[in-house]
Chain A
Amino acid sequence: DAGVIQSPRHEVTEMGQEVTLRCKPISGHDYLFWYRQTMMRGLELLIYFNNNVPIDDSGMPEDRFSAKMPNASFSTLKIQPSEPRDSAVYFCASAGWVGNEQFFGPGTRLTVL
């Protein structure tokens, strides 16, 4: 398996623009997680899905953030409108079952100017 795939790897955008980050989990994994990593706050869980259903989105910072998982092999994290404070590395991870280790993608480095 190719592992968790994220795109794009780097994104530079201007404040106010819409940003969409994409993730393809490992085939057969039932859990998908979106994290954000910054120097100030470290690695934070934003939202996670089980069998394509959002289970906990309490980490989503504000209504500008939304995440979807239309099928078992694809998820998106959207920021609209983007702000400079959204600049961070966004990771997607997947796991096979509860308690199993999470496999992380390479991340998307987002810069909002």
Chain B
Amino acid sequence: SQELEQSPQSLIVQEGKNLTINCTSSKTLYGLYWYKQKYGEGLIFLMMLQKGGEEKSHEKITAKLDEKKQQSSLHITASQPSHAGIYLCGADMGSNDYKLSFGAGTTVTVRA
């Protein structure tokens, strides 16, 4: 979706290193959802953010939503091979319904 820009498109990281993925919109995000997808499989829900400045963490993954609610970042600390996959951000753009727009995804490769 052009409404949500994800960067980078792909990245390769050495095992044990940190990585950050960004998701940016020109519109206010009323709900921001991070998902992970492995090739040939469905999307696995990671985290949801709704409030400006909100930050959530689960294991080694931290997601933040900026105060203006137009940008979110996903940070992985000390990456492991299990973190490899495609990360997608999805957002409720405030259209008074429950439609989510998704970014194009970021492909993460973790090298041992």
A interface with B by C-beta (< 8 Å): 4, 31, 42-45, 48, 50, 55-56, 91, 93, 95, 98-99, 101-107, 109
B89 → chain A closest CB, angstroms? 11
The dominant DSSP class at the A interface is: strand
Structural contact, B98 and A98, CB atoms closer than 8 A? yes
Chain B residues within CB distance 8 Å of chain A: 1, 31, 33, 35, 40-45, 48, 50, 88, 90, 92, 97-105
In contact, B42 and A42 (Cβ under 8 angstroms): no
Whether B105 and A42, one on each chain, are in contact in the complex, defined by CB atoms closer than 8 angstroms, is: yes
Minimum CB–CB distance from B26 to chain A (whole Å) comes to 18
CA A43 – CA B99 in complex, angstroms? 12
With A105-B42, A106-B42, A107-B41 known as contacts, the answer to whether A42 contacts B99 (CB < 8 A) is no
- How far in angstroms is the closest Cβ of chain B from A32? 11
| Contacting residue for B102 out of A43, A55, A106, A107, CB 8 A | A43
